[in-house]
A and B are shown apart, each in its own frame.
Chain A
Amino acid sequence: DIQMTQSPASLSASLGETVTIECRASEDIYSNLAWYQQKPGNSPQLLIYDANSLADGVPSRFSGSGSGTQYSLKINSLQSEDVASYFCQQYNNYPFTFGSGTKLEIK
């Protein structure tokens, strides 16, 4: 199985700041990577797919990048509604696997 190592586990930042979350795969996943946002008490929602494509309706302050085994999610101009947990997921091989998540809070 492909292991997804996500960091940091938690993150605290101020409104308006830029934050970056990293995800490393145990092997090349050829940009078959998605990012999801899960707000407290809600189901996950797709943010980014194919490593860098924005899902419909997602604000442009979210962006994804990376290739091979290293990927990142960047959030520009942090807003209060961005408080959530963020998960990466590889879909290059079955079984699909998720990163352990990053909990984002506002300072």
Chain B
Amino acid sequence: EVQLQQSGAELGKPGTSVKLSCKVSGYNIRNTYMHWVNQRPGKGLEWIGRIDPANGNTIYAEKFKSKATLTADTSSNTAYMQLSQLKSDDTAIYFCALNYPGTGVMDAWGQGASVTVSS
């Protein structure tokens, strides 16, 4: 069974950065795409971007191109997302999700990581 275990809650000050992790067990991330999605308090889901861990290729939603940086470490089967220049509206739950080859669906999800931006 594939499982995605995300790092814990983060509290960041405005202007700083945080780095979230997503460790995958039960599946080799070299054979997947890893997506990141956010959910602001009481709101819907917003796609941030995805990485192909096999080669590091990334695609971002336009509004996150200067906000999020996606990386992956195939040796530890872990995906990462760094959020930079934090602002109050970056406060959200951030989910990682795994996409099996051949589709664009997010087949398995992490439990989510809360990021709170506050001075």
Are the C-beta atoms of B103 and A49 separated by less than 8 Å? Answer: yes
A76: Cβ under 8 A from any B Cβ? no
Determine, out of B9-17, B41-49, B76-84, the stretch whose residues face the partner at the interface.
B41-49
Contacts of B103 in A (CB 8 A): 49-50, 91
Determine how close the nearest CB of chain B comes to the CB of A31; give it in whole angstroms. 12
Determine how close the nearest CB of chain A comes to the CB of B57; give it in whole angstroms. 12
Residue of A nearest to B35 (CB): A96
Are the C-beta atoms of A43 and B47 separated by less than 8 Å? Answer: no
Known contacts A43-B95, A43-B112; A89 and B45 CB within 8 A of each other: yes
Known contacts A49-B103, A91-B103, A95-B62; A44 and B109 CB within 8 A of each other: yes
State how many residues of chain A have any CB contact under 8 Å with chain B: 25
Known contacts A95-B61, A95-B62; A46 and B46 CB within 8 A of each other: no
Taking Cβ atoms with an 8 Å cutoff, the residues of A that contact B are 1, 32, 34, 36, 38, 42-46, 49-50, 55, 87, 89, 91-92, 94-101
A-B contact pairs, 10 of them (CB 8 A): A43-B111, A44-B95, A46-B108, A95-B47, A95-B59, A95-B62, A96-B47, A96-B104, A98-B47, A100-B44
Taking Cβ atoms with an 8 Å cutoff, the residues of B that contact A are 35, 37, 44-47, 49-50, 59-62, 95, 97, 103-112
